Structure 1
Amino acid sequence: MQIPESEGFWVRLAARIDLCKSDDDKKDYEELAENVMNIVDRVVHKTDEKIEQSTDVLKAIISPVMNEGEDGMWPPRNPEALKLMEKEISNREKEGQLDESFLSEVNAQLRQAKDEVDKPGLQVMLQKVLQLYASNFLRKRSYAYKGGEVVVPEKFLESIIEAPENDWNRLLLDGLTVGKGDVSPEEFYAVTKKRIERILIRTEGGSYQQRVLVEYIKEIQARAEEIVNRLQGPAV
């Protein structure tokens, strides 16, 4: 149901009430106006409650790297902070609290942090929240086994999805043929492309969830391309 929000709707409704030729018709329109207003009030109240809840969830997730009375510092002073954040994200996801409202709130805070040049740590922290969300979500479904056999490039991609971002370079160097591994760059790019296609199919088009998951895989692919280009030069 689409809730009328424009001032024009209420002006037209008031005009119809004024033009009513009978008290019964006028009463019906007045009741309609009251009912619509009550619905709007409930929707606004529910939206405000959801935003407040999402803000509380975000605060709980980043609390391990926040110092009382200060903006977030990055990298965190506590070496266990990332693990604590990851654990909190996992718990909140199990409780069904990492929904579109939550992702919308993180993105809103991230846009605001980008405009505040004096808070670079907060921006990185919020980006880390989205990375941890994507990693936690994507690791729940595996494509690394087919017909009882391991699909090596898929298994390799999943090992990176599950790893902290700081370990990506090492894992890529150990796994790609430009380094010490057995997976060619072409094979790796193919599975990242396939994973993005699966995300697009399995998530709602235009949703924050879809955007966050796709960006996460693109970050991994971009890191791989950077390493490949550095070691063997860009493809001609």
Structure 2
Amino acid sequence: MEQAAAQVSTAGMRLGMRKVMVLVPGVVVFAVAFGAAASAKGLSLVEALLMSALVYGGISQLVAMELWRPEWSWGAIAGLAVVTATVNSRMILQGASLQPWFAAYPKALNALHLFFFTDANWVIGTRYRAEGGRDLGVLIGAGLLLWVVWVLLTGLGYGLGALVSDPRAFGIDLVMPIFFAAMIVPLWRGRRAAVPWVAAGIAALLTAKLVEGYAFIIVGSLTGAVVGAFRDDPA
């Protein structure tokens, strides 16, 4: 039983790559948008590629570009850190939900594959494990493919920066909400489970109207988490 739970294979990696292919077009648009934004903000091509390769933060990188400025103060740096950390905090819960699966593997391997862990990996891994799958190669393969796509298309987006300097003109600003909405569809568990999502959305919209900046991200996230915690059925 433990041996099956700790399986890692190249076949699993190939399966993960096949499973994640359907999400690649969305990642391509994200990466191009980030590369274009990085170019518009004055980052060099090397800096943009290094951020994508080493940070690999997806949405948080786009948020960082929104907050990017030519001159920095300690307060601005702290604000950027808080906002991007809040955006990425969802990964803590996503990783924790798969912890029983990860626990059978060496810490070094977990550290490696969690670097490539994304929202797409979580959706794929959750469904794959629910169907009885145990091969961690599925997550590794999916994450590795998306990482390669993300880095390469960041470079393309940087080169095309002048053409897509205003993402709204091409509807790129809509990709983010559409992408996440599509990913959560398979996890739908009825109207009751949607209450935290609705609460988070309403809180974020109200905050965006009343407070300047990106406080709506923090308020929406915390509201959804608190509502979800109080509505969660005791086990």
Using structure 2 for the length normalisation, give the TM-score.
0.27
Which one has the largest radius of gyration?
Answer: 1
User: Which has the higher relative contact order, 1 or 2, with Cα contacts under 8 A spaced 6 or more apart?
Assistant: 2
Using structure 1 for the length normalisation, give the TM-score.
0.27
Kindly indicate which of the two structures has a greater share of residues assigned to helix. 2
